[in-house]
Amino acid sequence: MRVADGELIHNDNMLYGNVCAMFRLHEFNLFVVRIEDQTIADTMRVLFNLAWKAAQPLSTYSIKPPNGVEDRQGV
């Protein structure tokens, strides 16, 4: 698990195969955008990997991951 400094992210994303899904929960409403396109999914994977490399391992902060969540350093 890693943490990025700066802006908060209020949405969640999921990548699987050639699908990119973006989720937002607002009050009791769930909004989902699902895009099925290999180029967009590949681009989102590159952005994820760049963000992962820029983020700091959770172990560098004073907070610890929740029970059952492993801090996968170097992944």
What is the full DSSP assignment across 49-62? HHHHHHSEEGGGSS
Domain assignment present for residue 51? The answer is yes
- Specify the long-range contacts of residues 26-31, CB closer than 8 Å, at least 24 apart: none
Domain assignment present for residue 1? The answer is no
> Residue 26: which domain range?
10-60
Domain assignment present for residue 52? The answer is yes
Domain assignment present for residue 33? The answer is yes
Domain assignment present for residue 41? The answer is yes
Give the model's pLDDT for residue 2: 66
Domain assignment present for residue 3? The answer is no
Q: List per-residue pLDDT tens for the chain, 75 residues long.
A: 666 666 677 788 999 999 999 999 888 999 999 999 999 999 999 999 998 888 877 677 666 666 666 666 555
Q: Is-above-0.75 flag for pTM?
A: no
Name the domain count of the chain: 1
